[in-house]
A = this chain, B = another copy of it.
């Protein structure tokens, strides 16, 4: 399926500083970027720092005063198999080296603290069926609601609070999967039909030799996700990292099915 995506970010930088931008569509095996442009107004001194492993496309620029960054792209997404019920769990020995880090606890998904809970609730299931049970449990027990969580909220907090936003749902999926030795990671994406429009956070799990995107919020179709960033948890996929101080003026993300 083909999508037009756009991000527009306007910030005020009182003093000059470097900014790392991570809003461009990844150039990966599962999505083809047909055309794209990243422009700054006024113009800035920018360099690309792309990542050959994650396919992330990062831009670092030096900011001063009011800057608008505008990204536009047209992207083709391959259809994604939606049903992971038959996807088998893998032995550790069969995991590629690059997948191993996604087994480990991370700051926002401290899976070592979730092992007992995960065994108690999902201990009789394996592989894709276990992931599906985790998604169903979260959909049943956690409310999508802004204002409960903040930038420090972890999967443990969300399991207690029973409420959060897409970032929190993602951390909880990741934490509960890793607690069962299923590799899991965080993905940011433009998400078709997400309301209100925003960059979305979803999880990705490794089963049967491949990664599968899963979304415990159910707010956007899996086949409408244009991947931007991939990482251990939200700490890795921030769309903007400011090495200094700035004030948000305006920002928007959008995605449309291309006609």
Contacts and interface: CB of A to CB of B under 8 A. Distances in A.
Contacts of A231: 101
A161 interface: yes
B107 A110 contact: yes
B104 A18 contact: no
Report the copy number of this chain in the oligomer: 4
Interface in A79-109: 91-93, 95-98, 100-101, 104-107
B18 A116 contact: no
B93 A52 contact: no
Contacts of A236: 101, 104
A113 B117 CA distance: 18
B104 A235 contact: yes
A20 B92 CA distance: 8
A50 B97 contact: yes
A190 B167 CA distance: 39
Contacts of A117: 160-162
Contact of A106 (B61, B163, B235): B235
B120 A141 contact: yes
A110 B203 CA distance: 23
Contact of A120 (B97, B113, B162): B162
Nearest to A162: B116
A35 to B, nearest CB: 23
Nearest to A156: B160
Given A114-B160, A117-B160, 20 more contacts: A18-B92, A18-B93, A51-B97, A51-B98, A51-B100, A53-B53, A53-B98, A58-B100, A92-B243, A101-B231, A101-B236, A104-B235, A105-B107, A106-B235, A107-B107, A116-B148, A116-B162, A116-B163, A120-B162, A181-B243
17 contacts: A18-B91, A18-B92, A20-B92, A49-B93, A50-B97, A51-B100, A52-B97, A53-B53, A61-B93, A104-B235, A104-B236, A106-B235, A113-B161, A116-B161, A117-B160, A117-B162, A159-B160
